[in-house]
Structure 1
Amino acid sequence: MTNKMHPAAIDIGGEPHLRDAKGRLVPLATVKATDLLMDELVRSLNAEARENAKRNADFRARTFTTVSELQALLAQQYDAKVGGQKGNIQLLTFDGLQRVQIAVSDLIEFGPELQVAKALIDECLTEWAVDSKVELRALINRVFSVDKEGQINRAELFMLLRVEIADERWRAAMAAIKDSIRVIGSRSYARYYERDQPDGRWTAITDAATPAR
């Protein structure tokens, strides 16, 4: 720790104090050197992380803006929409070694029909033999076991929709799941890739906004 004043120091009677994790004021002079070193490192790294986060956000915004400008220019020149379904677009360098991809994904939520589907599925599972369809039972358990944010496992749910079973209750459950899906918006992602040769495998540039060191 350097001799400069600690950024979180609180002056009490002319003596600097630090507030600990329990909210108590502790004289700076009594804080262990190792705790101060850790404190300084964490503050330094978090400050850099905040700078990088802002730089990344600015970079992503610039990506969307410049790609949109290119789309508008090409559309004006060729009188045609540039981009795929739902606004997805892929741009390549002339040599085919670098790629920028704009991906648009739907934001979805599930309505009360999902609970109807769950009741029908439970009814099917109750009647089916315990040792039958073991893999299906495991999939169903994964679908309806909510994550830490209380969200249904969506990837597994869409896998469940691909399971075809003749039971009318099962078909009704799958129809209820489909009816429960509400598209409430969309989110755009910018992804950056490169490769060594035109037929090579693409490698993601994971943090294109952070300068190389």
Structure 2
Amino acid sequence: MINSQQTSVPAGFWQDAQGRMVPESLIKPIDIERDRLVRQLVGSANKLSGELANLKAAAFGDIEAFIELSAEQYGITLGGKKGNVTLYSFDGRFKIQRSVQESIAFDERLQAARALIDECLRDWTQGARPEVATLANDAFRTDSQGEIRTARVLALRRLDIKDERWQRAMQAIGEACQVVGSKSYIRVYERIGDSDQYRAISLDIAGV
């Protein structure tokens, strides 16, 4: 009897998606075969997922150990948060990248920055800086999840505007940035022929 739930199922019965007990004799052969196929593939996928998780853990550990070993050659010890690194095979055919992607959020100081920017936009003559007004308004527009677009807000800091209020707003934006988390990734690449280009060795089932 095939059953993935914890509910006790009497012998000779299968539990359907609504939790009902269905006599096995009433289940069509095609439904039984479909169930068998799905469970077989899910079992294989779970096994592969476990292997990928083990590979990821081993890769992070081995890369970290190698970085420490390399640092020891110069008599130093690395500490703290580790960043991005790329390792190449001796012949340059393969490379492995470890990258760290930080998640950034803004605290309440972003509201002070917005108030200063709005003050600038009100005082500047109409039409003198239309592109700046567009950029500012777009930067503070939330996405479909109601979140501020971090990259667009930070992009305002690249504008060369000397107004003292604008400068204070940009300082507030910088101070409002908070790193709230990070994710680490391992990416594996193989050189394309004799070129200087690399193709990723996909670890995603959709890309295989």
TM-score, length basis structure 1: 0.70
Pairing 1:118–2:114 present: yes
Q: Deviations over 1:89-147 (max 9, x none)?
A: 22111111211112234343321101111222233344553795247525642444145
- Among 139, 150, 171, the alignment partner of 1:175 is 171
Matching residue of 2:75: 79
| Aligned pairs for 1:130-145 within 5 A | 133-134=130-131, 137-138=134-135, 140-145=137-142
Matching residue of 2:22: 27
- Ranges in structure 1 where 5+ consecutive residues have no aligned partner: none
Does the aligned pair in 2 maintain the 1:100–1:191 contact within 8 Å? yes
Does the aligned pair in 1 maintain the 2:13–2:21 contact within 8 Å? no
Instruction: Count how many residue pairs are aligned between Structure 1 and Structure 2.
Output: 201
Matching residue of 2:65: 69
Instruction: State the 1:167 CA deviation.
Output: 3.0
The residue type equivalent to 2:56 in the other structure is R
1-structure distance, mates of 2:41, 2:71: 44
**Aligned sequence identity (%):** 31
Q: Secondary structure at 2:192's aligned position in 1? A: coil
Does the aligned pair in 1 maintain the 2:3–2:15 contact within 8 Å? no
TM-score, length basis structure 2: 0.72
Matching residue of 1:55: 51
Q: Deviations over 1:161-180 (max 9, x none)?
A: 21222333322221110010
Bigger CA drift: 48-57 or 171-180? 48-57
- Ranges in structure 2 where 5+ consecutive residues have no aligned partner: none
2-structure distance, mates of 1:142, 1:33: 58
2-structure distance, mates of 1:194, 1:7: 40
Does the aligned pair in 1 maintain the 2:15–2:21 contact within 8 Å? yes
CA RMSD of aligned residues (A): 3.8
Quick one: structure 1 residues 42 and 77, their matched pair in 2 at CA, closer, same or farther if it must change by over 3 Å?
same
